[in-house]
Amino acid sequence: MSTERVFLAEFSHETNTFATTPTERAEFRNRGEFFGREVLSEFEGTNSTIGGACEVAEAEAIDLLPSVSAEATPGGVVSREAYEFYTERILDDLREAGGVEGVFLSLHGAMVQEGGVDGEGPLLSAVREVVGESVPVVATLDLHGNVTDETVASADALVAFETYPHTDMAETGRRAMELLVAAVRGEIDPVTRIERPPLLPFVPNENTREGPMAELMAEARRLEANEGVLETNVLPGFHQADVPGIGFSVPVVADGDPALARETARSLAGTAWSMREAFVGEYPTPEEAVRQAGRLQRDGACESGPVVLADVGDNPGAGGAADGTVLLRELLEQGVENAGLALVCDPEAVERAIEAGVGSRPTITLGGKTDDRHGEPLEVEGYVATITDGQFRNTGPMATGVRTNLGRAVRLRVGGEGGGAIEVIVTENRVQPYDAEIWRHVGLQPERLDVLVVKSTNHYRASYEPLASEVITVNSPGLGAMDARLFEYVNVDRRLYPIDDLDETAYPDWESE
């Protein structure tokens, strides 16, 4: 029996259209750009979608034909040059591969390209045009995708992460490849339908470990157990994108039964809509959060682990500048010591610290240089404690084994003497510090600090919650702000809660029909 040939590629970006700086190819290179067989050697054995796909391919004797893997830290629209480079490379490799039995694409779902409003849909349409209607195409998605009709129409099946933090990257790749192999072998006939309740949740409330998303994911798994249902996806969307396709979506894959897919999607979308108020919340300001952390520190709570503050607004994982100073300024002004902050992306400050050298105490203007959303530049006298190349691999539950590239990185001690000061990780690259290995990389055990500030919304929970005495989500300003009502949309073509005042009649009670 001949071995089935499956084409594999990854092109992933979460685009914050409110960010003013385009995402160029250099940003993809910083995160990791791989071609041909090096795609497999880089990700085999890692907790990544490609890592999971490789496991299944090996077990099922599938011949993988890798093209490209390119992913950049969330930011502004993907430049025309970068978008065309990667899409054309994928399409050229696909044509050169000749006849393939299946296509596996690792995508995000919220990419926006320069001059467009949907990065994934046109790519999938072009792939479909190359392979024809008879070749199964399966795409993995981040659950923050804004899924368009073109994406649904061009793929046979969509398989999204089920966890946030995304600890199931490899599992998602496995599920998607298993589904693709079954389709290639004629064992199933996947069809996808989608429903979109008019909802834009606060991002912290999308945490799948508790609260409304945990309940909704449990319901999705219950529906997925029904005969004929292959995949039930829940995507709360990405509200930092001013595009028509923004918002909550429920794509469901069924085996040859579009009516079942539609009915299941409608049921789950109706459940999500009935829970809409639970997706909105109240969170402390930076001043309140730091005051709370200081109080916990004084009360001895930190003896069992650090208090972790999540700087949501400056989260680079949502397109934030990562050079915000709001939380650092509060720590200094409120006199919180034995604290750490990860991270401030400031290449100029890194250069200044490296020029001064380890053991020096240069005066540095830190952060606040990208825009006016994340706080003013902060002049500090800092002790240069560590200088590194910024290269390490994640050790926590999310993206385990995947390479992280901070660029050159510096550990700068500010605001006090010795161990009582604030340790700040300053980097050349924008990277979400969701893995606690970042601290060990610069020579610190994070457990030994009383207060840790991390620029992340939920991903940090996977690595930091096990060592934390308490976690505080901070309603901080910036491009990653948790509340969609803080953004001005001009391209959204439907009313959405909580931006708009919608009651229960805004989305039908499908289960009552």
List Cα–Cα distances, 408 to 6, 238, 354, 425, 509, in angstroms: 38, 30, 9, 11, 53
Residue 512, pLDDT > 90, answer no
Nearest CA to 103 among 82, 72, 130?
Answer: 130
Could you count the other beta carbons within 10 Å of the beta carbon of residue 49? 34
Q: What pLDDT score was predicted for residue 508?
A: 78
Instruction: Give the integer Cα–Cα distance in Å for 450 and 334.
Output: 14
The proportion of the chain whose per-residue pLDDT surpasses 90, expressed as a percent, equals 96
Average pLDDT, the chain: 96
Q: Which amino acid is at 470?
A: E
Work out the average pLDDT over 45-73. Answer: 98
Domain extents for the chain? 5-279, 286-481
End-to-end Cα, the chain, rounded Å: 49
Residue 418, pLDDT > 60, answer no
Q: What pLDDT score was predicted for residue 510?
A: 46
H-assigned helices in 98-157:
120-131, 149-154
Q: Directed axis angle between helix 120-131 and helix 80-97, to 10°?
A: 20
420: confidence class by pLDDT, cuts 50, 70, 90: low
What does the pLDDT look like over 291-324, one tens digit per residue? Answer: 999 999 999 999 999 999 999 999 999 999 999 9
Work out the average pLDDT over 10-28. Answer: 97
Partner residues linked to 387 by β-bridges? 410
Handedness of CA 114, 120, 121, 127 (dihedral sign): positive
CA–centroid distance for 237 within its chain? 11
Residue 345, pLDDT > 70, answer yes
Nearest CA to 321 among 73, 47, 32?
Answer: 73
Work out the average pLDDT over 144-152. Answer: 98
Tell me if residue 379 falls in helix, strand or coil.
strand
Q: What pLDDT score was predicted for residue 511?
A: 44
Q: What are the φ and ψ backbone dihedral angles of 180, each rounded to 5 degrees?
A: -65, -45
Work out the average pLDDT over 426-432. Answer: 98
H-assigned helices in 390-472:
437-441, 461-464
Instruction: Give the integer Cα–Cα distance in Å for 162 and 112.
Output: 23
The proportion of the chain whose per-residue pLDDT surpasses 70, expressed as a percent, equals 98
Q: What pLDDT score was predicted for residue 354?
A: 98
Q: What pLDDT score was predicted for residue 417?
A: 58
H-assigned helices in 189-318:
211-224, 258-274, 286-298
Residue 346, pLDDT > 60, answer yes
419: confidence class by pLDDT, cuts 50, 70, 90: low
DSSP state of 249: B
Domain 5-279 CATH superfamily: Response regulator (3.40.50.2300)
Is residue 205 a contact partner of residue 279, using CB atoms and an 8 Å limit?
Answer: yes
Residue 513, pLDDT > 80, answer no
Instruction: Provide the whole-model pTM.
Output: 0.96
Is residue 407 a contact partner of residue 428, using CB atoms and an 8 Å limit?
Answer: yes
Instruction: Give the integer Cα–Cα distance in Å for 311 and 276.
Output: 24
What does the pLDDT look like over 438-494, one tens digit per residue? Answer: 999 999 999 999 999 999 999 999 999 999 999 999 999 999 999 999 999 999 989
